[in-house]
Chains A and B, each alone.
Chain A
Amino acid sequence: MNHRLRSTSIILGAFLLAAPGCTNNQPIKREDAVASVVRSVSDAHFDDATQAAGLDFVQHFGECGEHYFIEQVTSGATVIDANNDGNMDIYFPAPTALGPCKIPADAKQRLYINDGKAHFNLAENAFGSSKTDYGIAASTGDYNNDGFADIYVAAYGKNTLYKNNGNGTFTDVTKAAGVTAGGMCTGSVWFDADQDGDLDLYVLRYCNWSVKNDIKCPGGACGPTTYGAARNTFYRNNGNGTFTDFTKQSKLATEQRRSLGVAAFDSDGDTKTDLFVANDLGPNSLFKSLGGLKFEELGMMQGIAYGITGATQANMGVAIGDYDEDGDMDVTITTFQNEPNSLYRNDGGFFTDVSGETGMAAATLPYLAFGTSFLDVNNSGWLDIFFADGHVSPMTKTFDGKPNAKQHNQLLLNEGGKRFIEATKALPDSNVKVHRGTVVADFDNDGLEDILVTATNDKPTLLLNKSKRGNWVAVDLKPANGSATPIGAKVVAHIGKRTLTRQVIGGGSYAGDSSKRLHFGVGNASKVDALDVTWPSGKVETFSDVTINQVNIIKERR
């Protein structure tokens, strides 16, 4: 699908969908929004469209009965517009054989191209004969600002950087780029750490596990603390297609941790992109950007290192979003069973875990969650939240006393920025697997955000959003440097007296990125007065010619 550029710098996308009954021009009131959310519990609905979408394959973890520790954390996926047609495609990493194991022939990395209606075709030759090592996670970023998003695959063994050739194929440039980090890598994130206009790369390591030092415990794999923690790696983009390891100089990995989730966002409104890392069984890290390549780890001091009880939790996935509409980014973290998922309200850079008073703690305590994403289920403007649940041990007993690692996912709807109420019934009954990653995008271009959930050694699930919805505006940002993934950009939408804030987040969730397109549900409002865009360059621009119920392509003025 092509977008024609207009000289006004706002380009209206071609995804025209009229919202039913959207004639009210009055700004939405907060109390109206609350009422609409309460109604939306029964209005929220998702269909399992996996089979119809052509995503009907098993994402293997290399199973052969060895119960390797690594099998607990596999199966990510990342959203990428691989061919710049405006439709959200999906990349799935794949494992390789470990030790004496053999893997099924269909266990291969997969890039699925979306036809715009959530029908996907496997791009068989996208990677040629190239294979990754044991792929766990992937992240999407246009590291060379050529306008095409590239893919970095975090793996056990050696990681892989795939450069998007712009013609539907990718080339392994890992060695030439110098991003050969290895070990047991569970994720990565692209962000402009030094504000020089290109994306740098941060790589997560979980621990010092390897096939050789694998230890067996009764009932299967041992816990993560059996293995030593590991240090993450930061690569600075040299601007010429190569990278340099700047881990030490940047102070972005001061401690060895067991990192699983990561997100790059502006935590304190200073326009510089900070880095949040969710660490399993250890304090989370918040690396605040001090400008240039200087970072200071302030997780503990800013109150985001620990959960509601102040204790260390099994932190895994992370979601970033302004759930309370106060203009700053709040943080949700997924945790282990019998630990509440955390919701950190951002109070001007200080974080307070409000999972107790918002109802999130009580709702999530019984489940083990990995992936998580904020999304606006019904275009009310209030950010709801989705959790991908599934235990790590097949010996875990469910509440009926039977051993089973499979759990159902959870959907919590936002009640006016004050409480979250469970709307898991909106998800299909088939929604019970050992889930891991989750990413959000409007896959069928109907103006509602959909969800893709991955599962270990199981088929992914595509949940198409069929909820009753309000109006919406989507924004594709095109920065002056040509990047296809303007991570760090911020957009504030003014809708009457209401303002909604979104950032283009780097990373997030677990083991994969969501769409970089910003989505604003606007409820009953029929127009958006203006969009204030803070570009990654630091430039701030206001755009008033915004078309509702469309994707608006906004280009930075040079």
Chain B
Amino acid sequence: MGALRQRMRPLIVAGAAITVVTALVIRQNLTKPTSGLVLTSAQITAIEAATAAVKANPSDTSAHWKLVGLLQAVGNEAALATEYITLIRLEPEKPDAIIGMGELLLKNQRYDEAHDAFTQATAKFPTSPMAWNGLGATLYGQKKYRQAVATIRTAITLSPTNTELHGVLGSALMEQVMQFPDRGSYKRELAEARLLLEKHLPTASQRGEVLYRLGRITNIQRDNKAAVDYLTRAQEELPDKPAIAFSLATAYIGQGRRDEGRRVVESALVQFPDEAALHDLLGQLHQRSGVPSGMKDAQASFSRAIALKPNVGSYQERYGVACLRANDLASATAAFIAASKLSPHKAFPYQQLAVVFNRQGRVQDARDASKIAQDIAHDENLLKQAQNLSMVQPKNIGLLLVLGDRYRDLGLKAPARLQYERILELKPGHPEATKGLQLLGPIDEPQTP
């Protein structure tokens, strides 16, 4: 308990407090003994020796750093955290320990504490590119892509030759764009992200991931030729990732090479038979195949997709359409009703229900569904118009507020937050933006509309 209490005391580092919260949380989790480590006798001997050296001379920072190196090598995060805390106290004038601590927290996806650590690091060591990079990576992990982009840009200014930073910035830019329903409109951001990732690619450690990101970007840019190239290479590097096969197939389809797209999907389904997105895509290919059995095959594929993932509205919608084409009106009705519950703000299920009801002779129901669909479609049109106008008038606070509120209504928290934050940058303290942010609450899950 004595040692515990010791660690709980606020740590004073050159007049700036490393918050109790950070230290506390670290103690409660990261400093738990790391179980399951299997060390060689040489590693054990080396760590014991380094630990003895630290105990013999607790103020010897070089001894502590030597121990840090050994602990990093074996992945003993609990001991590593303890060492970083000690080093932060011993070397208040150096950024290395606090950055190390931040990276350790980041690695464990403890974003709030990592954010604290890196915020303090950047405040105390504003010329440290790694501090800014750490903060940027943390913001990226928190899905605050807009702030991540700004932060990593600072890191790049401080260390322009670090291509790893270019890679992080490119990824952050891409993810920032991915949050928006109208992602194709963000041409400038996509172009920059592509340029940065292409620059980073030759030296990237996670080459497959970078290729995959480039594939996604070029897919959105409708540069299908480049997308096919990147995604083919990504698939070679990461053969176990079904999302790559999906993107590759869509790139082929976009290039007009539908047969090749279909081969990719069918081959991927052998490897990933329970991947709903692939079944759904295969259904779409069947739907447009031009062969007489296309609609029937599509229905079977869509059926499999909804069996695997019944809570995806778009899968239900496509299954419903296939049923409607096959004149299976009962199944179509069920699918569209399910879709309308999953996506209450979409006009599509109601539009289709109007057709189905009319064919069933339920004319008044059809009229009602049609009315609802038209009202929703009207809102969708207004949203598109606001999105387009905001692209050309990015400082129009009124438009940003309209978009923020609408995204919030639609449950698209991440893009909603971006609009409010942009307003607050332009007009600090803007009451409606502040209120909007408060109403949004925390963003728990990835927002990929």
In the bound complex, do residue B388 and residue A226 qualify as a contact, i.e. CB atoms below 8 Å apart?
Answer: yes
> Please, which residue of chain A has its CB at the minimum distance from the CB of B391?
A217
The 0/1 profile, CB within 8 Å of B marked 1, for residues 291-320 of chain A is: 000000010111101101111100000000
A residues 415-458 in Cβ contact with B at 8 Å: 419
Asked whether any CB of chain B lies closer than 8 Å to the CB of A468, the reply is no
A362 to B261, CA, bound (A): 13
A219 to B184, CA, bound (A): 13
Contact (A300, B373) CB under 8 Å given A228-B385, A305-B351, A309-B284: yes
Residues of A within 8 A of B367 (CB): 301
In the bound complex, do residue A301 and residue B352 qualify as a contact, i.e. CB atoms below 8 Å apart?
Answer: no
Contact (A306, B290) CB under 8 Å given A215-B389, A225-B381: no
> Please, which residue of chain A has its CB at the minimum distance from the CB of B336?
A310
B residues 326-353 in Cβ contact with A at 8 Å: 348, 351-352
Contact of A366 among B226, B256, B351, B354 (CB under 8 A): B256
Contact of B222 among A223, A303, A397 (CB under 8 A): A397
Residues of A within 8 A of B352 (CB): 306, 310
Distance between A151 CB and nearest chain B CB, rounded to angstroms: 33
In the bound complex, do residue A301 and residue B370 qualify as a contact, i.e. CB atoms below 8 Å apart?
Answer: yes
A302 to B298, CA, bound (A): 22
Contact of B377 among A228, A283, A340, A362 (CB under 8 A): A283
A350 to B327, CA, bound (A): 12
Asked whether any CB of chain A lies closer than 8 Å to the CB of B430, the reply is no
A492 to B351, CA, bound (A): 35
In the bound complex, do residue B187 and residue A219 qualify as a contact, i.e. CB atoms below 8 Å apart?
Answer: yes
In the bound complex, do residue A300 and residue B255 qualify as a contact, i.e. CB atoms below 8 Å apart?
Answer: no
Number of A-B contacts (CB under 8 A): 120
In the bound complex, do residue A350 and residue B318 qualify as a contact, i.e. CB atoms below 8 Å apart?
Answer: no
Distance between B154 CB and nearest chain A CB, rounded to angstroms: 26
A197 to B241, CA, bound (A): 67
> Please, which residue of chain A has its CB at the minimum distance from the CB of B366?
A301
> Please, which residue of chain B has its CB at the minimum distance from the CB of A401?
B225
Residues of A within 8 A of B155 (CB): none
In the bound complex, do residue B351 and residue A306 qualify as a contact, i.e. CB atoms below 8 Å apart?
Answer: yes
In the bound complex, do residue A365 and residue B392 qualify as a contact, i.e. CB atoms below 8 Å apart?
Answer: no
Residues of A within 8 A of B387 (CB): 225
Contact of B223 among A218, A353, A359, A401 (CB under 8 A): A401
> Please, which residue of chain A has its CB at the minimum distance from the CB of B382?
A228
Residues of A within 8 A of B355 (CB): 300-303
A residues 254-304 in Cβ contact with B at 8 Å: 255, 281-283, 298, 300-303
Asked whether any CB of chain A lies closer than 8 Å to the CB of B142, the reply is no
Residues of B within 8 A of A397 (CB): 222-223
**Which of A283, A309, A356 counts the most B-chain CB atoms under 10 A from its CB?**
A356
A301 to B255, CA, bound (A): 34
The 0/1 profile, CB within 8 Å of B marked 1, for residues 303-345 of chain A is: 1011011111000000000000000000000000010100000
In the bound complex, do residue A227 and residue B348 qualify as a contact, i.e. CB atoms below 8 Å apart?
Answer: no
Distance between A259 CB and nearest chain B CB, rounded to angstroms: 14
Residues of A within 8 A of B358 (CB): 298, 301-303, 350
In the bound complex, do residue B351 and residue A222 qualify as a contact, i.e. CB atoms below 8 Å apart?
Answer: no
In the bound complex, do residue B374 and residue A340 qualify as a contact, i.e. CB atoms below 8 Å apart?
Answer: no
The 0/1 profile, CB within 8 Å of B marked 1, for residues 212-234 of chain A is: 00011111001101111100000
Residues of A within 8 A of B291 (CB): 357
Asked whether any CB of chain B lies closer than 8 Å to the CB of A491, the reply is no
> Please, which residue of chain A has its CB at the minimum distance from the CB of B191?
A218
In the bound complex, do residue B321 and residue A215 qualify as a contact, i.e. CB atoms below 8 Å apart?
Answer: no
The 0/1 profile, CB within 8 Å of A marked 1, for residues 314-325 of chain B is: 000110110011
Can you give 22 contacting A-B residue pairs, CB < 8 Å? A222-B388, A226-B388, A281-B381, A301-B354, A301-B357, A301-B366, A301-B370, A306-B352, A309-B287, A310-B318, A312-B377, A357-B290, A357-B291, A361-B287, A362-B289, A362-B290, A365-B256, A397-B223, A399-B224, A400-B225, A401-B226, A419-B290
Task: Give me the interface of B with A, judged by CB distance under 8 Å.
Answer: 187-188, 222-226, 254-256, 258, 284, 287-292, 294-295, 298, 317-318, 320-321, 324-325, 348, 351-352, 354-355, 357-359, 363, 366-367, 370, 373-374, 377-378, 381, 384-385, 387-389, 391-392
- A-B complex: 7 closest residue pairs judged by Cβ atoms: A359-B290, A226-B388, A301-B358, A225-B384, A361-B288, A310-B321, A366-B256
Instruction: Add 15 more A-B contacts to A222-B392, A225-B388, A310-B352 (CB < 8 A).
Output: A226-B388, A227-B385, A255-B374, A298-B358, A301-B358, A302-B355, A308-B288, A310-B320, A310-B324, A350-B359, A356-B288, A356-B294, A356-B295, A361-B287, A401-B223
Task: Give me the interface of A with B, judged by CB distance under 8 Å.
Answer: 215-219, 222-223, 225-229, 255, 281-283, 298, 300-303, 305-306, 308-312, 338, 340, 350, 352-353, 355-363, 365-366, 397, 399-401, 419
